[in-house]
Structure 1
C-alpha cells in the first residue's frame, strides 16, 4: 500500500495533522498504540493570556482563530459540537492583583483580551476580591474530538492500532517503507513518547506530568470557566453538573498513573474556591510534551530526508495544534520556511 503520509500518533497533534491532510486530499495512514496519552487528559482550554502574570500568549489571536476555524470544520465533518466559547473568570487573590489587571487592561496588546472586572463571580464561588473576565477564550472537547476522529479513521481504513516498530522503518528510493506501507513522508506526533524515538530523541523534550479531576457538583451552577488556584470548567457535553478541575504540574514524576498527592492538592485548591459539596468522579494523569523554551518542535530530520516531527505542544495543545499542523504541511509540500521559533533547526 502506498500513501503520501505515514503519521505516528493520534493525539491532538496527529489528529490535527491528519485533518490538514484531508483538507488537501492527501492519502495517509495513522499508526497509534491506542494507549493513554496526555491529549486524552487535556481540558482543551484556550485563552490568550498567561493568567498568572496577565501577559499575552505568543501569537494568541492568530492561533485561536485558526483553532476555532479548524474545529468548526471538524465539528461539521464529525456532526459533533466541539468548541464551547466562553469567558474565563479570573479570580483575584488580592486587591493588588485586581489593580494590576486594571492597569494592564489599558495596554494595546492586552485590551482585546482583559475584559471588565466584577465584584463577585458565581454565587457558589469564593471571590472576595472580585474577578476579571478574559475574552476570546473557551474550551475544546478534546476527548470527544479524538474519539470521533478515531472512529472515522477506522471506518476509512486510515488507522492501525499498534505499537510502532522503529526498526521496521527503512528508507527507499521514494520515501520510506514500513511493513506493507510505503510513504513519501513520515510525521512523528508521539507526544512524550518521542523520548523513545531513535530519530528525534536528542531533541530537548522535557515532559511535565499533569493530573486532573472530574467532579459532580449539581449546586455549582457554573456556566463560564473559573480560574483561581485551579481551573474549573463546565462539561456541557456530559451534563450540567459535571466539571473539569485541573491541573497539577510535576516536572520530575514521569509515571502516568494518578497519584493520591495530586488528588489531595487539587481538592485543597478546589475547596478554597467553591462553597458547595461535590463528588470526585474520576482522576486522570498524563505527561505533557513540553520543551525547554516553551515552543513546539517542527521540522525535518537533519540527515534522514522525509522524516518529520510535530511535537512539543505542551499545555496549549488545542491553541497551537492547528496552526502548527498547517505550518508543517506548508513546509513539506511547498517548502515554506518554518517560523524560527518552532523549527527544530534551533537545536541542531
Structure 2
C-alpha cells in the first residue's frame, strides 16, 4: 500500500462537505477540505428551514423519523464544538386557506403518523396582528431553521485553524487517480469525496448523473410591526430573522440558471406575500441560488462506477439541512465499514447512464 498524506480529500465546503468533514473528524480520520470561497454557494443562500410536514396535502417528509432526531443532535453537538448558536428550533404556522382545508388538516393531524409533528394547542399561536389567518391555522412542531452562513463560516475557521482547509479553486484535471491512492497538488490521499453542489455539473467524474438544478430567490424584508418567533408557511415561507426582519421565499425557475436576483422573482414573492401579511414592509435585499436537485428528488450519494476511491455526496435539494447530517454518516460508514447505502440514494441506480 502506498503511504498517503491524508485519508480523504473533500472537495467543497458547503453543507454537504462540512457534514462529511465533521463525521470523518469524529472517526479520527485525516482529511483536507478544498473550497473556493469566491464561488457562489447554494448553502449560503438557502434559508435552512427544516419542516417535517410539507405540501398542500400535509405529507410527512421522507424518512423524517430518522432524519430529524439525527440532525437535531448533530447541529446541537456542533454548536457546542464551535461555541456558536445557529440551530433555531421554532414552530411552523400554516394558516388555513378555507374552512374545508381547516377540517381536512385537523382530521389528518389525528393520524398517528402525523400527530407527533403537530401541536396539541394550536390556538395558543396568535400572529393575527401581522398575518391574515381568518380560519386559524396548524402549528407544526419539531421544526425550525439552521443559520447556514454562520455554521459554514465558523466551520471554515475551525478547520483552517487545524490546517485542514485550503481556500482555493479546484480543477478536476489536477486530480490523478491511481489504483490505491489519489494525487492532488503533490499530496496523496486514499479517497476523494466531491461535495460541490451545482458545480458537480462540470465535474468530469460525475457529469453523467441526472442533475435537475433549480434556481430559487429569497427576499429579506423589514416589517413595520414586530414579528413573533414562528415560521409562516402558506405558498411561501416567512422566516423570522429578528424582531423586525423576515426572510421570504422561495421561487422556482429553470431559465436562466444563474445566481442573479431578478425583479420578476421579487415581484412574484411580493404578490404572494401581500396575500398573507397585514403589516407594511420594505424589501431590503434579494438573493438567488441554484439548488443541486435531482430528477427523482433523491440525493446522489456513493462511489464512482469505475474508480473505487472516488465518491460523491450531492443532490440534497431543498431539504439539505436534514438530509446532510444523516446521509453524511451513511456515506462515511459505507466507505469505512462497507455498510450498505440506501438504494434510493445510491448512485448505482444510475450506473447504466455511465456505461451507455
Q: Report the secondary structure of 1:251's partner residue.
A: coil
Q: Secondary structure at the match of 2:280?
A: coil
1:1-348 to 2 correspondences below 5 Å? 2-34=5-37, 35-116=39-120, 117-118=122-123, 121-235=127-241, 239-348=242-351
Moved more, 74-83 or 321-330: 74-83
Q: Deviations over 1:226-285 (max 9, x none)?
A: 1122111111xxx42221111111133311111111111111111111111222221111
TM-score (norm: length of structure 1) = 0.96
- After TM superposition, give the deviation of residue 120 of structure 1 in Å: 5.7
Change (3 A) 1:275 1:287: same
How far, CA to CA, are the matches of 1:297 and 1:229 in structure 2? 28
Deviation at 1:343, TM superposition (A): 0.4
TM norm structure 2:
0.94
Count of aligned pairs between the two proteins: 345
CA contact (8 A) 2:117 2:142 kept: yes
CA contact (8 A) 2:226 2:243 kept: no
Does the 8 Å contact 1:120/1:131 carry over to 2? no
Q: Contact 1:218–1:242 at 8 Å: present in 2 too?
A: no
- Runs of 4+ off more than 4 Å: none
What root-mean-square deviation, in Å, do the aligned CA atoms of Structure 1 and Structure 2 show? 1.4
Q: Matches of 2:55 and 2:154 in 1, distance apart?
A: 31
Shift of 1:218: 4.8
Gaps of 5+ in 1: none
Structure 1: distance between partners of 2:284 and 2:188: 44
Whole-angstrom CA distance in 1 between matches of 2:213 and 2:9: 24
**CA–CA distance in 2 between the matches of 1:321 and 1:129?**
36
Q: Which moved more, 1:331-340 or 1:114-123?
A: 114-123
